[in-house]
Structure 1
Amino acid sequence: MLPALLGARKCRGFLMARNLLLLASKKSRRYYSSSNDIKKTSVDNPNCTMAEIKEDMMKSLGLEPGYTREPKCREELLQYQPKIEELPARSMQDSFSSAIIPLSKNPMLQDKYINFRGFVRLGRLLEDMDYFAAWCCHRHLKLPNLPKGVPLPYTIVTILVDRIDFTDVTASGTQDIRLSGHVSWVGTSSMEVVVWLEQKVDEKYKKITRALFLMAARNATNTGSAPVNPIQAANEEEKQILAGGAERKKHRQILSAQSVFKVEPNAQEQSLIYEIYKRTSPTEHAGPLKRLLPPNCCWMQDSFQMSTIPSFPEHRNHHNTVFGGFLMRSALEISWAAAFLYCKTRPKLEHISDISFEKPVTVNSFIKMTAYVVYTKLNYVQIMTVADVLDPYSGNRVTANAFHYTFSAPDTVTEVLPRSYHETMWYIHGRRKFNASNVYKSETIS
């Protein structure tokens, strides 16, 4: 088992203790991670909103609201990029923050977050979690040699989301939601951030989900990597968290090297492939290419849903490319629709596997989202959604992102089966994702 991550409640305790010390010593509530003259109104304020955090991030980067076709040049900031030996060590408490999505007091905001049943749209929350992870990275960064008045010479981008598990709490669309998080591990230019979502139920905050974001620090023009502050554990528990971050990195590298798209399936999986072939081939061998669909099954090629989405400036991040949270929300919503149409009943999102961000997406792109049912087990459905960027002039297509979701239905679902070898690799890949999700904890998983 990987070492546990520091709980949100304990982190908030660290933050409150630090605030008391600041008040006792009558120090100013300034935060110097970006610019020594930018006062962060949301820093160390547990009741700040996501809107305030977004405003503070804009200020720290030296950006202003409004869209221009030619984004503000940040090339002059390259001279302020620090060397790694200039960066002091930071603690996990330094990056810890929390924020509120004030749904209880803002009916207009409710319209943005609520679905027709009165619950929160989880895709909207993913957008906020991605933004909040970047905010925690901003809090972690501290540049002692950055001149007063100079914006933060960094670009923070999302590399991947490791895994997201959901509790049984069904988030209401009319109650406040709290985000909490901190940097839990750093590399030379990468930062792992843990983010929690909670909602107040019967006067107590209850956990909705927890996610791990891996973020990359890039230079001011997003043309190269940039070093980040090292992290120093304050106690034995934090040492375990740091060790867990390093172990998770190693685990991701192993899984990537063993991907079914890189190496052939193992012996057990090859036996499964042959079993599927035998189940879908006629016993009389009427023809070598003929395939038969067993009862209560569906071909994978008939299970997908697709949507082509034009992107607009409102979907951009601070660096004028499509915001990763928007891609996550769009992918989740079409995946949910695919699961709903396949199960013929409203599905429940159980787990999101690693989300990879391979290429940046420009704000004038067409994004083709295709959601496939790639594996089923009893009442569970595994969805793989691929985001392709389309060039409307040349017709070229480049895959930018891949998403993997596990949904559950009230009753047993129709079994999905691959028809081609290509689909069979998707089936094996989806089966691995499902087994790794641990949503179906039983020794009967074959």
Structure 2
Amino acid sequence: MLARTVSRRLSQIRGLNQVGLFLTTASPSVLDGVGTGKMTMAPAHKTVRTFTSQCETVSGEPEIPIDKMVSSIYTHVNSCQPASFTEEEKKSKPLEPRTIRHSYRKFVIPLSTDNEKKKEYLSAMGNVRIGKILEDLDHMAVHVAYIHNSENGSLDGPMTLPRTIVTASVKRIDFHNEDINSSRDVIIDGQVTYAGTSSMQISIRLFQNDESGNLIHLLKADFIMVSRDPLDSNKKIRVHGLVARTPDEAETINQTKEHFKNMSDLADRQTTNEELRLIDNMYSNLISRNKVNDIPVLTPKEMWMHKTSLSVTEICFPEYQNMYGKIFGGFLMRKALELAYTNAKLYCKGRVAIRSMDHIEFAKPVEIGHVLHLNSLVTYTHGKYLQMKVVASISDQNNLSELAKANLPTLGQEAQIRTNVFNFTMESVENPNTLTVVPKHYIHASTYLEGRRLLNNTLKRIVN
């Protein structure tokens, strides 16, 4: 019965234009591994395929607009009745493993036919605002995660267990093409590629037709979602497992599982001897330029890191809330990206392009009424590439004493709580020879090394 229901629901979702819904080992030009961060774009004259080989071609149905996807999440969450489940059910109710195909969904952002929607997405340059796309990616990740854990394979039905699904982190977003045309529809698809006890990885892609009608791959993202008890956010709620029905699906699941097991945190790992020597040589060189004393001296082609700071502060209004009454994670990503982009553009004195987002952390929720502080820095530079970091923190005028306890007591009314960290790799398009950023303080030396790891990792993965 469940299989028939899932099949019937999937038949309502149209495949990508001229897209075969399968992936075989004979077509490595499409995807080289979901969840691995290794991907190549299919040639424009070839069809683009979905993540798995399990889905058959689907056609004949109209595209489903993204607004319906968003509204379905709110309806699904509002229909949840957590009090109707016993504690025993939460702990022991059998949860049938699901396939990757079960959660696959595709939607369209109708920019070619909806003028109001087009205005929402229009940037100052006349193309699509990437910040708005980030909001859609976050919604898509939540939608797919709820589909994976729904009773009948759609959000029209109930949850198998009462759950609140939130974004824990964004492992990576790689941009293959950020120049998204504001007059053509954008296609977004996604599916679950890993499921643990209470966590999931959702892999999402974005496409758009070019002027010749060929489908172009724009980006790929990996979101880490967690399932929590609606009555107690500190309690985990189990999610459905993931099983493979084809060799391709098995490879996808195993690769992602291996990445979860062995994922090395590039941002927080211990400083190596090679990195220590790098900082020591850097300061020896800076000091050697001064023939009078031991004060480091910069050249006209260098800039102190603390001089690159750019900040913005605003109050969190109800219009930014998600279905749980917290500030929407996609909104926070959008604000961080737009600040980092602005800072990078000022630093480079020209247009920049976004290449990747890494290690995006959602440590604490942001509430309505909080004062949101976003601070950005250029943390590392290499030729025409820049690594940007944005740290988000909150303060609350009604709870200053509580916030102060979490910080040093001497901070008093300046006490803030860090909620998010965002890392962006950008490319200077108009001025390839950017200033070299240099750390002046110890904490900035640590930030410099963190940025160096992230930028080098991006260059190896999607540039070189």
Q: TM-score, normalised by structure 2?
A: 0.80
2:428 to 397, 400, 409: 409
Contact 2:104 2:190 in 1 (8 A): yes
> Helix, strand or coil: the match of 2:223?
strand
Give the 5 Å matches for 1:55-204. Answer: 55-62=71-78, 76-79=83-86, 82-83=90-91, 86-143=94-151, 153-168=162-177, 170-201=179-210, 202-204=212-214
Q: Aligned-pair distance for 1:74?
A: 5.8
The residue type paired with residue 101 of structure 1 is I
Contact 1:304 1:370 in 2 (8 A): yes
The residue type paired with residue 78 of structure 2 is G
Structure 1 residues 176, 283: CA separation in 2 closer, same or farther (over 3 Å shift)?
Answer: closer
1:235 pairs with 2:235: no
Q: Aligned-pair distance for 1:255?
A: 2.0
Following the alignment from structure 1 to structure 2, what is the Cα–Cα distance between the partners of residues 248 and 440? Answer: 15
Give the 5 Å matches for 1:253-292. Answer: 254-255=264-265, 259-260=268-269, 263=270, 265-283=271-289, 286-288=292-294, 290-292=295-297
The residue type paired with residue 402 of structure 1 is V
Q: Aligned-pair distance for 1:286?
A: 3.9
1:386 to 378, 387, 391: 391
Following the alignment from structure 1 to structure 2, what is the Cα–Cα distance between the partners of residues 300 and 45? Answer: 53
Aligned-residue CA RMSD (Å):
2.7
Structure 1 residues 121, 426: CA separation in 2 closer, same or farther (over 3 Å shift)?
Answer: same
1:318 to 311, 314, 323: 323
1:398 pairs with 2:417: yes
Following the alignment from structure 2 to structure 1, what is the Cα–Cα distance between the partners of residues 274 and 437? Answer: 19
Q: Percent identity?
A: 27
1:299 to 301, 304, 316: 304
Q: Deviations over 1:76-112 (max 9, x none)?
A: 2553864455111110110000001111111111111
Structure 1 residues 233, 442: CA separation in 2 closer, same or farther (over 3 Å shift)?
Answer: closer
Contact 1:46 1:98 in 2 (8 A): no
1:212 pairs with 2:222: yes
Following the alignment from structure 1 to structure 2, what is the Cα–Cα distance between the partners of residues 193 and 287? Answer: 55
Following the alignment from structure 2 to structure 1, what is the Cα–Cα distance between the partners of residues 298 and 127? Answer: 38
Contact 1:178 1:198 in 2 (8 A): yes
Structure 1 residues 204, 14: CA separation in 2 closer, same or farther (over 3 Å shift)?
Answer: farther
The residue type paired with residue 271 of structure 1 is R
Contact 1:334 1:371 in 2 (8 A): yes
Q: Deviations over 1:363-399 (max 9, x none)?
A: 2111111110010001111101101112235232011
Structure 1 unaligned regions, length at least 5: 21-43, 64-72
Contact 1:74 1:220 in 2 (8 A): no
The residue type paired with residue 451 of structure 2 is G
Contact 1:87 1:142 in 2 (8 A): no
Structure 2 unaligned regions, length at least 5: 1-30, 40-47, 401-412
Structure 1 residues 439, 109: CA separation in 2 closer, same or farther (over 3 Å shift)?
Answer: farther
Structure 1 residues 79, 50: CA separation in 2 closer, same or farther (over 3 Å shift)?
Answer: farther
Aligned equivalent of 1:4: 33
**Paired residues, what number?**
400
The residue type paired with residue 428 of structure 1 is L
Contact 2:178 2:354 in 1 (8 A): no
Contact 1:77 1:220 in 2 (8 A): no
Q: TM-score, normalised by structure 1?
A: 0.83
Aligned equivalent of 1:424: 445
Contact 1:371 1:386 in 2 (8 A): yes
> Helix, strand or coil: the match of 2:243?
coil
Following the alignment from structure 1 to structure 2, what is the Cα–Cα distance between the partners of residues 392 and 91? Answer: 47
Contact 2:170 2:361 in 1 (8 A): yes
Q: Aligned-pair distance for 1:291?
A: 2.5
Higher mean Cα deviation, 135-144 or 396-405? 135-144
Q: Aligned-pair distance for 1:45?
A: 6.3
Following the alignment from structure 2 to structure 1, what is the Cα–Cα distance between the partners of residues 78 and 84? Answer: 10
Q: Deviations over 1:324-351 (max 9, x none)?
A: 1111101000000010000000101111
Q: Deviations over 1:147-197 (max 9, x none)?
A: x98666210100111111111362111211011010001000001010001
Contact 2:109 2:186 in 1 (8 A): yes
Following the alignment from structure 2 to structure 1, what is the Cα–Cα distance between the partners of residues 84 and 69? Answer: 22
> Helix, strand or coil: the match of 1:314?
helix
Q: Deviations over 1:270-306 (max 9, x none)?
A: 1110111112215556445x23122310110111110
The residue type paired with residue 337 of structure 1 is T
Following the alignment from structure 1 to structure 2, what is the Cα–Cα distance between the partners of residues 110 and 418? Answer: 42
The residue type paired with residue 236 of structure 1 is P
The residue type paired with residue 423 of structure 1 is H
